[in-house]
Structure 1
Amino acid sequence: MRKIKRWKQGIAVAGVIALTGSLLAGCGGADGKNSGSKGETGSINQAGNADTADLVNVNTDNSDGKKTKDESAKAMGRFLENDLTVPENSQFLRDVKVLDSGALRMVYYSTADNCYYAADSADNGETWTNGKSLEELLGLKENLGEYISVVSAAADGSIFVGADLSPDRDNENAQTTADSGEEDSAYDNLKMEFFYLSPDGNVQKVDTGDTIQSSYTFQACFTENGTVLIVDPGNGVAEINPSDGSLVRRYEEGIRVDFIGTAGKMLFTIQDQTLHGYDLDTGKPLDNISALTEQIQSDEQDVNWTTTSSFPLMFLKGDEDNSLFYIDHTGVYRYVLGGSTVEQIIDGSLNSLSSPDTGTVAWGQDSDGNFYVGCNAGEDIKIYSYVYSKDTPTTPDTELTVYSLKDNDFIKQAAVLFQKKYPDVYVNIETGMSGDDSVTDTDALKVLNTEIMAGTGPDVLLLDGISEDTYIEKGMLEDLSGVLKDTDILSNIKDAYTKEDGSIYTMPVKFGIPMIEGNKDIIAGITDLTTEADAAESQKDSYGKLQFFSDFSIAPSYLIQGTIDNSIPAWMNEDGTLNENAVKEYLEQVNRIWQTQKNAIEETKKAYQMGDDWADSDHSGYMDISGSVTSLLAKVDTVAAGGLLSPEGLVSLDSARKVDPDLDYKLLNGQSENCFYPRSAVGVSAKASEKEAAEKFVKFLFEEESQRASNTEGLAVNSKVYEDMAYWKMGKSSGDTIGSIGASYDTGDGNIKQIEMDEIIPEDEAIQNIMDLGKTLTVPAKSNQIIRNAVTESGEKYLNGETGLDDAVKEIMQEVNLYLSE
């Protein structure tokens, strides 16, 4: 089958460097993941400006997961987050350091010339000096930024760099080997060289001799003692003197270490999901950190290495000799060695630390007690300062509850932006199905309905997968026409959700366009689901081993889930029930598609010794079409189909057409015409306890700031954003190459087919055509999860020949009607 690699221009011309280590920085970091809270909270005396009484019970969760409101909610004092500026053309952050002079230093990768730079700020991140090229400072060859794998800055101004300068970089082979788990052999042909820039500007190459036994390292950082710690994959951590490369001490020799971090005179490592601490003066293990170890190891996100652009957590010198700070996706914590509790001093659920696209890279604290945190957030660099405000409530006075049936990254990012704008409101996001338990859609919705009717339900609902028509009919949603009156929403989207009397009960915050790409002659005749089945049958003679109609049709469940949303609108009767004949017609057409290629699927499974469950992973929604373009270019698939959900998705579609001029793309209709995919459809409960805050939050979701966030979750419905060429070009210009997509396909005959495609910003005409197309779509596709589940379960049995068509339709009607009657 295929292996896919993806990289950005200049970051990984050498694939192994970018995909394994080139985005790493300093000693520490946190992956941007779901919000949450840690163990116990308590009071601290924060250096600088936080008073002990101000920081009590910052965030305590009770058994049902909701934030507890007690007398501490009246306490005042909280760290507030501020966005700092970053240098122009900076794309990936490598380190942030508070220098001894009090200035900030950041080390970053620049897209202007594919090199690394160090820039300083003397005004707390408001302005930055012109960056100095590390390649120039270190005397390296030009444009070798993509081969620098580790960079660390020290408070005294020193910089330590590790780079691959080997003449033969077989990095793609190395990455493929690394992906298979054979990490050490993957880097045998690489050669790491180290450089040290001293505080006075002298540069020297650091000869480590045979101290570093591996040919590659992914993390290095300075210690408070001026030495440098280097991860030696498979052989622990080496501490060296950067002036001469001599070995000071080795930690965990012979062991694979996943992460290192320092806090003053302390070293922390993670290996095999366990935390270890060492005294950097003596090299001996710390024996009084049991409470810290227990808490960190209790959060899998802290001890699992899951990214190459950030770390699971970071450590920092504390406000006392025997104390430390650490940061993860849930906030900032303080611990005193030997203590029995870990105190939370910054609640991550109230700022960007909890945002799914935030991956922290490095951090520091100035003499006033302010924290500075550097992050890689999607394609952007973010540097946040956290400044203590004694006049802000320790916990917000208002708690707004937002419900989503399934995890929703966009709403988490929007909640972070909202809370920064309205610090007096705490947004509590509840998810009906965590994915970690046996709760089904039906179970979750029954609980939700019961809570709403009892007046204890959420304030705001994301209705993706939920029957909005039923909720409207039963009076469970508030009329939002007044709230959305002055919002700049695309007229076709807004009109589709406006009732005859002018009322609006729900509105999608983002949307997607159903698209198909393929040979011009083939897709020209595809106008609906029936002609799509015709096209599949017309090409059936070409199907075989790794030769399919499309990615979404490689299994019955995939085929149904990939075609159902823009067909459901054609099934709905005026009374909200299903049209039996329309459901029957749907199953007949998807069965036609499946029957054309089921033999090809079996042939492929047999050739690669795959089990029957090879395509049984969760596929509860339509596919993002951009993920299928390499299969199309490799001629594995006849067509690519799915949702156009982002400007970058259009880049993929248009770039594929540039590679193969015989390709084209167009709107894909199902049984319904002119459908759009609603994303994050939002409504306010008629029994919301915080109605004012709920309405304020909903209105914020459609403002420009929120609409420009999370460009992968759907297209903006805000007219100003949607019609902005800069939005579609992602700040670039037409013709700019923003990255590359590569894939390897096993042909089954001992050969590997390599596909590589540059991602190029489309011309204005192509963007305008899509922009205009999106504004013609007037029918919301339906994503009712109960209907989806019923059709998928019975439809699979029909496509697999386990039941007849009439029986499958009967089962679907009975299950859906039972739900509608409850």
Structure 2
Amino acid sequence: MKRSRFQQITAWLMLAFLLLASGCGKGKDTVPQGTAPSGDPGEPGESQAEGEKEQSMGRYLEYQIELPEEFEYADAWNTRAVQTLGGGEIALLEESLGLYVSADKGKTWEQRAASWLTDLSAKEAYIAHLALAPDGSAAAIYSGGEEKAEGEEEGYHPQYIYADPEGTPLPIQYTDDKDTLYGLWFGKDSSLYGFSMQGSVYEINREDGSVQELFKVDGLTDYVCFTESYMVILTSRTVELYDLEAKTLAPSDEVLQSFISEETDGEIGTNSDSHLVVMSSGEGDVIYLAMDKGLYRHIVGGAVVEQIADGSLNSLGDPQMYLRGMLTLPGDEFMILYNGPLCHYIYDPSVPAVPEEQLTIYSLEDDYTIRQAVSLYQKKNPGIYIRYEVGMSGGDGVVREDAVKNLNTKIMSGSAPDLIVLDGLPEQSYKEKGILADLTELEKGLTGENALFPNLVDAFRQEGKLYSLPVRFRIPLMVGDPDTLKGITSLVSFADAVERLRQEHPQGSILRQITEEQILYTLGLSCSGAWLGEDGKLDEGKLTEFLTQAKRVYDAEIAGWDSAELKEMQQRMMNLWTEADGLLWEDYSASASGISVDIAMEDSYLGIGTTRGMNGDFNMVSTLAGQEDDIDYASYPGQVQDSFVPDTCIGIYANSIENELALDFFRFLFGTELQDLDLPGGLPMNMASFEKQKIDPNEGKDNSSISIGGEGGESFHLEILWVTEEHFQRIHDIVDAAKTASRSDSVIEQTVLEIGPKALNGSLSVEDTVKEIVKKAAIYLAE
């Protein structure tokens, strides 16, 4: 059998981002600042002072525009463009539906001809980008839709087209075969500009389609906005200003540059289908910006960027709402185009800037599931404000110890959050100190369509009481050939299987786990819960067994590599982890779907990983298991039998158990509105929502697929089928059998990952490594 010996690391990274695309969170902690629209565009408004006690009035309210019925059946990710026309109408251009115009701010819509576009769509051209002009003209970047030229290779071959206000198409004469146009944007006067992959900016002649290079920008252009004087260009690296009158680059706007860099963590331009920041212009040189944290106002060259709407109170803060475009309307109103909805924002001076009813939720790290829940709940309850506090934002230098101390100070001072996400926190200590409320009666009230898996709930009972419950969970699976899986019933027999496979296959990878940390992390998925005894102390016997078997697995894995090759591969993998901020390690190296693809590509024979949902995850495992005789899956036994990995474990502060708002939000977390969603944290705890996972939401549409190319020219393609009844029942049976939450204290897990590699690489004996782990952990456990 041909082995590509880890030539697919780049492909792993690409697949990792594919699998996690729906799991990318957009936001961080937010502070509400309600501000009235500034009346004079020449003077910035005053933001509400932080901590101001006096009730401020007025905030932007969100209203979803009812789009034409045809949009209900169109793919929400189809390419779209939105624009305000010269007469004040709102125009919406959609690749498969054409042009729709509204003269009454979205109350009614009129379809207008755009045959140049719908003809391209009918020919199955790929529409990469659309632009609309104030005068009604349009432009597009597309590929395909025509007969392939003789000798033309397969792939993306972009073409560019301009259509005048009457819809007459004109090819854009861009012919640089070493570069391509990435985006097209219209100015306020309907002048057309093109932006290339390599940073060149062109003005396009709308009479003959010719192009003239104007200047270059640093980075990939992501979004463009035009004021009276400037073209404001947001790129993947910077913010550029082009003086439209002087026809030259203007000095940098350091205030705007600093603000965007800080708020986006330098991630602008990482998604071709949506934007982290969208912009539109007001009067003069005022620009408005929309992002996850809210709406902002800035004068080009001014000293401040002021917040005029808090994103946590509307769809901007919703992690599943992605920004596509933005308009400024008369009267300081705005429209924002998302991946599907078009929303209208109107300032209402009669409502409080921040709702009077408030609730506080805390998590140590930003939690996607909680952020999604907060957004949905607040949109349903506009009279309630939920303050979501994150202990470690990632950009302020706060480490875990400091964050926990800060939280403990709040708790001791009586200002504890109402609900606490206990992931990474000393839950056992909080329980013993009476900080957490008993949730038993609250969970009993979750019945009917809100009922949770009883076996997973029971796994969290301590002496008959419930102090926390996970909102989502993952299932650790083994993937490999059926005969090998049948013989694995424990951590020891798993190590036996790896050693046996190494004897059968002396060269290459067995597990695609080439670093000590990878081995420890994946094996620990059904083991970490065994390391702490009921007395809260480390079980040295279990820890010794774990490291002993982990060393066997590691030794067998690296035996297929020479030392130089192994060192190079380990360094490459660690660099990828560093660049991806742990993404590969936690979400792909330990992904059952990724392992199944590796085995199908003949890059490994066996692996351990979790499954956290159907779409793009378990569907991949079940598709391959249904098509390949040498691929199957089973529950991973480890040191904890019939285990599951909980996620977003939520508890209620003891003093907040009488707070009906806290109880209502807790119920909302487990209700079908949230639980039905496909969330990256894992599978739904709600049984009714879990049952819905077997329903294909894309029935009647093309199946999703993946294609991966290797360095040697080989390729892998898989059409991913939705889970069948048979495979859904199999995973359902595994969930029903789960009885133990595989969770240890996160500090203990981190300590094992930090010190454990010494036992695997032989720099310390297993016994001495255990002693070092116990010594370091004892300091923490004694706190």
TM-score interval for Structure 1 and Structure 2 normalised by the shorter chain: 0.7 to 0.9
1:350 corresponds to which residue?
Answer: 313
How many residue pairs match? The answer is 748
Structure-2 separation of matches of 1:632 and 1:133: 48
1:759 corresponds to which residue?
Answer: 720
Asked whether the 8 Å contact 1:403–1:432 carries over to 2, the reply is: yes
1:373 corresponds to which residue?
Answer: 336
1:208-242 deviation line (CA, Å, top 9, x unaligned): 266x6754211102222122111134352112233
2:765 paired with 1:804: yes
1:25 corresponds to which residue?
Answer: none
1:89 corresponds to which residue?
Answer: 74
1:461-481 deviation line (CA, Å, top 9, x unaligned): 111233423321221211223
Asked whether the 8 Å contact 2:599–2:605 carries over to 1, the reply is: yes
| Aligned alpha-carbon RMSD (Å) | 3.7
Structure-2 separation of matches of 1:91 and 1:40: 31
1:660 corresponds to which residue?
Answer: 628
Structure-1 separation of matches of 2:223 and 2:559: 51
Structure 1 letter corresponding to 2:650:
V
When residues 658 and 117 of structure 1 are mapped into structure 2, their CA distance, relative to the original with a 3 A threshold, is farther
Structure-1 separation of matches of 2:348 and 2:217: 47
1:163 corresponds to which residue?
Answer: 142
2:750 corresponds to which residue?
Answer: 789
When residues 610 and 764 of structure 1 are mapped into structure 2, their CA distance, relative to the original with a 3 A threshold, is closer
Structure 2 letter corresponding to 1:780:
A
Structure-1 separation of matches of 2:337 and 2:622: 34
Structure-1 separation of matches of 2:658 and 2:353: 20
Asked whether the 8 Å contact 1:96–1:374 carries over to 2, the reply is: yes
2:3 corresponds to which residue?
Answer: none
1:775 corresponds to which residue?
Answer: 736
When residues 646 and 343 of structure 1 are mapped into structure 2, their CA distance, relative to the original with a 3 A threshold, is same
Structure-2 separation of matches of 1:715 and 1:34: 22
1:16 corresponds to which residue?
Answer: none
TM (norm. structure 2) is 0.85
Structure 1 letter corresponding to 2:161:
F
Aligned pair partner of 2:498 in 521, 533, 536:
536
Structure 2 letter corresponding to 1:273:
R
Deviation at 1:460, TM superposition (A): 1.9
2:708 paired with 1:743: yes
When residues 463 and 94 of structure 1 are mapped into structure 2, their CA distance, relative to the original with a 3 A threshold, is same
Structure-2 separation of matches of 1:235 and 1:809: 54
1:683-698 matched pairs, under 5 angstroms = 683-687=651-655, 691-698=659-666
Provide the secondary structure at the position in 2 that maps to 1:475: coil
When residues 600 and 458 of structure 1 are mapped into structure 2, their CA distance, relative to the original with a 3 A threshold, is farther
2:45 paired with 1:4: no
1:647-692 deviation line (CA, Å, top 9, x unaligned): 1211111122244232111211211111111110101222559944
Asked whether the 8 Å contact 1:513–1:667 carries over to 2, the reply is: yes
1:583-623 deviation line (CA, Å, top 9, x unaligned): 22222222221121122355573595764973775446882
Aligned pair partner of 1:470 in 429, 437, 454:
429
Deviation at 1:644, TM superposition (A): 0.7
Question: 5+ unaligned residues in a row in structure 2: which ranges?
Answer: 1-6
1:175-220 deviation line (CA, Å, top 9, x unaligned): xxxxxxxxxxxxxxx65432233333x322224266x675421110
Provide the secondary structure at the position in 2 that maps to 1:807: helix
When residues 436 and 632 of structure 1 are mapped into structure 2, their CA distance, relative to the original with a 3 A threshold, is farther
2:592 corresponds to which residue?
Answer: 625
Structure-1 separation of matches of 2:335 and 2:12: 33
1:21-420 matched pairs, under 5 angstroms = 33-35=26-28, 43-45=36-38, 57=47, 68-71=50-53, 73-80=55-62, 82=64, 86-92=71-77, 93-100=79-86, 104-108=90-94, 117-119=98-100, 137=118, 139-140=119-120, 142-146=122-126, 148-165=127-144, 167=149, 170=153, 191-200=157-166, 202-208=167-173, 215-234=179-198, 236-247=200-211, 250-253=213-216, 258-265=221-228, 266-270=230-234, 273-285=237-249, 291-301=255-265, 304-318=268-282, 320-337=283-300, 339-367=302-330, 369-376=332-339, 381-420=340-379
2:480 paired with 1:521: no
Moved more, 641-650 or 658-667: 658-667
Structure-2 separation of matches of 1:45 and 1:363: 19
Provide the secondary structure at the position in 2 that maps to 1:514: strand
Asked whether the 8 Å contact 1:35–1:354 carries over to 2, the reply is: no
Provide the secondary structure at the position in 2 that maps to 1:226: coil
Aligned pair partner of 1:732 in 698, 704, 725:
698
Structure-1 separation of matches of 2:734 and 2:111: 43
Structure 2 letter corresponding to 1:158:
S
Deviation at 1:557, TM superposition (A): 1.4
2:667 paired with 1:699: yes
Provide the secondary structure at the position in 1 that maps to 2:437: coil
1:175 corresponds to which residue?
Answer: none
Structure 1 letter corresponding to 2:125:
G
Structure-2 separation of matches of 1:672 and 1:79: 50
Structure 2 letter corresponding to 1:703:
G
Structure 2 letter corresponding to 1:335:
H
Deviation at 1:701, TM superposition (A): 1.1
Structure-2 separation of matches of 1:133 and 1:539: 61
1:119-154 deviation line (CA, Å, top 9, x unaligned): 5567755787789886664x44844332x2221123
1:182 corresponds to which residue?
Answer: none
When residues 721 and 604 of structure 1 are mapped into structure 2, their CA distance, relative to the original with a 3 A threshold, is farther
Structure-2 separation of matches of 1:601 and 1:437: 41
Aligned pair partner of 1:671 in 639, 643, 647:
639
Asked whether the 8 Å contact 1:512–1:677 carries over to 2, the reply is: yes
Structure-1 separation of matches of 2:334 and 2:553: 57
Deviation at 1:499, TM superposition (A): 4.5
1:272-304 deviation line (CA, Å, top 9, x unaligned): 733222343553555695644553455454674
When residues 4 and 161 of structure 1 are mapped into structure 2, their CA distance, relative to the original with a 3 A threshold, is same
When residues 89 and 790 of structure 1 are mapped into structure 2, their CA distance, relative to the original with a 3 A threshold, is same
Aligned pair partner of 1:505 in 467, 473, 480:
467
Identity of aligned residues (%): 25
When residues 32 and 623 of structure 1 are mapped into structure 2, their CA distance, relative to the original with a 3 A threshold, is closer
Structure-2 separation of matches of 1:511 and 1:550: 24
Provide the secondary structure at the position in 2 that maps to 1:461: strand
TM (norm. structure 1) is 0.82
Asked whether the 8 Å contact 1:398–1:424 carries over to 2, the reply is: yes
Deviation at 1:495, TM superposition (A): 2.5
When residues 397 and 456 of structure 1 are mapped into structure 2, their CA distance, relative to the original with a 3 A threshold, is same
Deviation at 1:339, TM superposition (A): 4.0
Structure-2 separation of matches of 1:39 and 1:570: 43
1:187 corresponds to which residue?
Answer: none
Structure-1 separation of matches of 2:194 and 2:54: 44
Deviation at 1:307, TM superposition (A): 2.0
Provide the secondary structure at the position in 2 that maps to 1:476: coil
Structure-2 separation of matches of 1:716 and 1:83: 31
Asked whether the 8 Å contact 2:378–2:384 carries over to 1, the reply is: yes
Structure 2 letter corresponding to 1:35:
K
Provide the secondary structure at the position in 1 that maps to 2:206: coil
1:232-276 deviation line (CA, Å, top 9, x unaligned): 3435211223342245x6432486653451234331124573322
